[in-house]
Amino acid sequence: MRRHYQKTSLYKNVTPEDWNDWKWQMANRITSIEDLEQVLSFSPDERQDINRGLQRLRMAITPYYATLMKPDDPDCPLRRQAVPNILETRIKNSESRDPLHEEKDSPLPGLTHRYPDRVLLLVTDQCSMYCRHCTRRRFAGQTDQALSINKIKMGLNYIKQHKEIRDVLISGGDPFCLPDQRLEFILSSLKDIKHLEILRIGTRTPVVMPQRITEELCTMLKRYQPLYINTHFNHPTEITAEAELACARLVDAGIPLGNQSVLLKGINDCPYIMKKLVQRLLQIRVRPYYLYQCDLSEGIEHFRTPVSRGIEIIEMLRGHTSGLAVPTFVVDAPGGGGKIPVGPQYQISNSSEKTILRNYEGVICTYTEPEDKSHTCRNCGICEDFPEYEYRGLEQLYREERIALIPKSNVRMKRRAMNNEFGQA
Ligand SMILES: *Cc1c(COP(=O)(O)O)cnc(C)c1O
Ligand code: SF4
């Protein structure tokens, strides 16, 4: 990868010790237009536009990430993720502050409980770099600080009291902006909660400030297994020697690493860029986990592609490259419905005798069903390991007497209710 920082006078005299010290990277983040002018070239018009964009969401770019951006190319995929744009001031009707209703599903500040058995715990609103496409831009960078220890303790308490929670996803902001000590306090408090089975951290640090992934941090994290980390690479040029080292340290500490990319117009909305990205990720031992459709957060429409672009990308990955490289493409449903997988259709038709499928090459194949299609419960008792279990969604149709799931607003049902009221039913 070609490095550009040799060209920028700004970092000429920085010692390697400073450069490799994440505290130096944090302290020297580019946060103003004046700083930005030292590393990028732009016209006075562009200057004004950038300034307007940064009113919507704080700017911060680590010197490390800044040196990966092409200084003369406004369309550089890394630069577009980091540098504010005037388009961020345009807010569409379909967009909202909190499209995923993370706050409506929040019993406490910093905690979202959307799924039955897992919660999202936001521990800081600070990031080393603020992504311009950030979905949580209502929250990220608000104070550029950690959540108060009190709020965190309230979240921990909630988790303690809800025995159905078995998985806690620590996110933010970026949890790796916290000092080791604070992070360890959170991890060890969670580790003490007996009903938790796994912990997860969501972080962009390996991408935007790999210097943070120190040996000491990894030694600490190692004590809190099973711990899974998901990071956020969006473009193959983000996979540098530094990023690779950071990922290697985490994986060598026994922490499985996954990646969550966001599908971004003009950045990675091309099957070949995505193929390159996912294949490179496997080389650095990071397993592609999700590819997200860009959310309906305010001021990011210029990053959005149609959903069909993501489907097309998966079409060109599945079968064409290692299955391990293929993420699940999801739309995080506006209104808090959660992540919904979408993808190409492979099932063409289906009778009780045969399922007809097509493969990635377009070959149409048959799968012959077994003659005996019955299923019987073996009464093994494993299902009893899920106490106080309530059936959800289609599970209710399969497992209960219920014959239909009907939306509250269904007009026919309203009419039935009215008929009942008039005693005609
Ligand atoms: C994404 C998310 C999770 C985790 O979802 P998985 O599909 O289990 O990775 C949990 N809670 C919230 C609120 C989320 O947005
Ligand atoms: S790292 Fe995550 S939370 Fe922080 S700005 Fe980027 S997308 Fe938002």
Indicate the length of the chain as a whole number: 425
Of the candidates 42, 38, 49, which has an alpha carbon nearest to the alpha carbon of residue 8?
Answer: 38
Residues 133 and 82 in one domain: no
306 and 364 belong to one structural domain: no
Residue 97 domain flag: no
At a CB cut-off of 8 Å and minimum separation 6, what does 162 contact?
A: 113, 119
Query: Are 227 and 314 found together in one domain?
Result: yes
Pair 355, 337 in one domain: no
Whether residues 264 and 337 fall in one domain: yes
- Ligand 2 contact via 132 beta carbon (within 6 Å): no
> For a pocket test of ligand 1, which of 105, 108, 112, 169 has the largest count of ligand atoms closer than 8 A to its C-beta?
169
The number of C-alpha atoms within 13 Å of 263 and in the hemisphere containing its C-beta is 28
The rounded Å distance from CA 222 to ligand 2 centre is 24
Residue nearest atom 8 of ligand 2, based on CA coordinates? 134
Q: Report the alpha-carbon distance of residue 373 to residue 120 in Å, rounded.
A: 40
Query: Which of 71, 200, 67, 204 lies closest to 133, judged by CA?
Result: 204
218 CA to centre of ligand 1 in angstroms: 24
Answer yes or no: do 64 and 139 share one domain. no
Residue nearest to atom 1 of ligand 2 (CA): 204
DSSP 71: T
Going from the Cα of 9 to the center of ligand 2, the distance in angstroms, rounded, reads 28
End-to-end C-alpha distance for the chain, whole angstroms: 74
Find, among 8, 82, 87, the residue nearest to 41 by Cα. Answer: 8
Quick one: CA torsion of 112, 116, 118, 121, rounded to 10 degrees?
10
Q: Is 96 a domain residue?
A: no
- Residue 326 and residue 181 share a domain: yes
- Please list the rounded mean pLDDT of every run of 10 residues in the chain (425 residues): 54 95 98 93 91 94 96 94 96 94 93 96 97 95 95 97 97 97 98 98 98 98 98 98 98 98 98 98 98 97 98 98 98 94 97 97 97 94 81 89 91 90 65
Q: How far is the centre of ligand 2, averaged over its atoms, from the C-alpha of 172 (Å)?
A: 8
Q: Is residue 94 part of a domain?
A: no
Query: Is 0.75 surpassed by the pTM of this model?
Result: yes
Q: Which atom of ligand 2 is nearest to the CA of 137?
A: 8
Domain co-membership, 12 together with 25:
yes
pLDDT at 6: 47
Q: Whose CA is nearest to atom 7 of ligand 2?
A: 134
Question: Hey, whose CA ends up nearest to atom 5 of ligand 1?
Answer: 339
Chain-centre distance of CA 235, in angstroms? Answer: 15
Number of domains in the chain: 4
8-state DSSP, 103? T
Phi, psi of 119 (to 5 degrees): -130, 160
Q: Which atom of ligand 2 is nearest to the CA of 171?
A: 3
Is 114's C-beta closer than 6 angstroms to any atom of ligand 1? yes
Can you give the residue range of the structural domain that contains 408?
A: 382-424
CATH of the domain at 285: 3.20.20.70
Instruction: Assess whether the C-beta atom of 127 lies below 6 angstroms from ligand 2.
Output: yes
Structural domain includes residue 200: yes
- For ligand 1, the distance from its centroid to the CA atom of residue 339, given in whole angstroms, is 7
Nearest CA to ligand 1 atom 2: 120
Whether residue 290 sits in one domain with residue 406: no
- Tell which atom from ligand 2 comes closest to the C-alpha of 262: 7
Q: Which of 54, 61, 44, 60 is nearest to 85 (CA)?
A: 54
Element spanning 23, H or E: helix 22-27
- Residue ending a domain, among 89, 119, 150, is 89
Confirm whether 165 is domain-assigned: yes
How far, in Å, is the centroid of ligand 2 from the Cα of 133?
Answer: 8
Q: Give the Cα separation of 422 and 425 in Å (integer).
A: 8
User: Looking at the structure, do residues 53 and 13 belong to the same domain, yes or no?
Assistant: yes
Taking the centre of ligand 1 as the mean of its atom positions, its distance from the CA of residue 400, in whole angstroms, is 27
Residues 284 and 249 placed together within one structural domain of the fold:
yes
**pLDDT at residue 1, as a whole number:** 41
Taking Cα atoms as reference points, which of 20, 28, 62, 33 lies closest to residue 213?
A: 20
Neighbours of 95 (CB within 10 A): 17
**Strands of the 354-358 sheet, one edge to the other:** 347-350, 354-358, 364-368
Same domain, 255 and 232: yes
What's the order of all strands across the beta sheet hosting 328-333? 111-112, 118-122, 167-171, 198-202, 227-231, 257-262, 286-292, 328-333, 338-341
Decide if 11 is inside a domain.
yes
Strand, coil or helix: 304:
coil
Query: Crossing angle, helix 180-191 and helix 149-161, to 10 degrees?
Result: 20
Pick the atom of ligand 1 nearest to 230's CA: 9
Q: Is 118 in the pocket of ligand 1 (CB under 6 A)?
A: yes
- Residue 175 Cβ contacting ligand 2 at under 6 Å: no
Instruction: Let me know if residue 101 belongs to a domain.
Output: no
Ligand 1 atom showing the smallest separation from residue 119 Cα: 11
Instruction: Kindly state whether residue 62 falls inside one of the protein's structural domains.
Output: yes
The catalytic site residues sit at 114-115, 118, 127, 131, 134, 136, 295, 332, 339
What is the rounded distance in angstroms from the CA atom of residue 257 to the CA atom of residue 231?
A: 7
58 lines ligand 2 (CB under 6 A): no
